[in-house]
């Protein structure tokens, strides 16, 4: 599975588990407007580390933290390179 599709899978899965209404995901959607709160994002980051083996928030020192869904995906894609 590609990084993008894995991330989208986790967004949907965690939203369902946490009983959150997920907005229609688009690259320019701000994470704040996605319907997920910080605990949801924390769980997604944790699950992605298990699946993808990367946790860019603690390693990517030269890329800005992601604000939108597209940046979030790019953040992981860059870290995987």
Partner 1 sequence: MPQSDRASLWNAVSARGNLSGRTLSGAGASITLGDLVRGSCLGGRAGELRGRSVLLSIRDQFAAALALIELDGVARRLVLCPSDLPVEHLPLVIDSAGVDAIVSDQTQTGPDVPNVGCSLPCSPELVPARDDRSAEHQTEWILLTSGTTGQPKLVVHTLATLAGAIDSGSTESSQAVWSTFYDIRRYGGLQIFLRAVLTGASMVLSAAEESTTDFLIRAGAHQVTHISGTPSHWRRALMNPSAHRIAPQNVRLSGEIADQTILSHLRSFYPQARIVHAFASTEAGVAFEVTDGLAGFPASVIEANAQVEMKVEDGSLRIRSTRIARRYLGRQAEPLSGADGFVDTGDMLVLRGDRYYFVGRRDGVINVGGLKVHPEEVEAIINRHPLVRMSLVRTRKNPITGALVVADVVLKTAAATGNGDAAKLEQEILQFCRGPLPRHKVPAAIRFVSDLPVATTGKMVRQPCVTSS
Residues at the interface with partner 1 (CB under 8 A): 17-18, 30-32, 38-39, 41-43, 45-47, 49-50, 55, 57-61, 64-67
Provide, rounded to whole angstroms, the least separation between the CB of residue 70 and partner 1. 13
CA distance 69 to 38: 14
CA distance 49 to 71: 17
Query: What is the nearest approach in angstroms of partner 1 to the Cβ of residue 24?
Result: 19
Closest approach, Cβ 2 to partner 1, in A, equals 21
Q: Give the residues across from 30 on adjacent strands.
A: 68
Which one, 1 or 67, has the nearer CB to partner 1?
A: 67
Buried residues in 33-52 as b, exposed as e (16+ CB within 10 A)? ebbbeeebbebbbebbeeeb
Choice between 19 and 24, CB closer to partner 1: 19
């Amino acid at each position: 599975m590609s990084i993008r599709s894995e991330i989208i899978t986790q967004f949907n899965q965690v939203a369902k588990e946490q009983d959150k209404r997920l907005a229609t995901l688009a690259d320019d959607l701000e994470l704040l407007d996605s319907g997920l709160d910080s605990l949801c994002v924390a769980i997604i980051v944790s699950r992605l580390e298990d699946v993808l083996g990367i946790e860019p928030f603690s390693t990517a020192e030269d890329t800005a933290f992601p604000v939108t869904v597209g940046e979030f995906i790019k953040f992981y894609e860059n870290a995987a390179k």
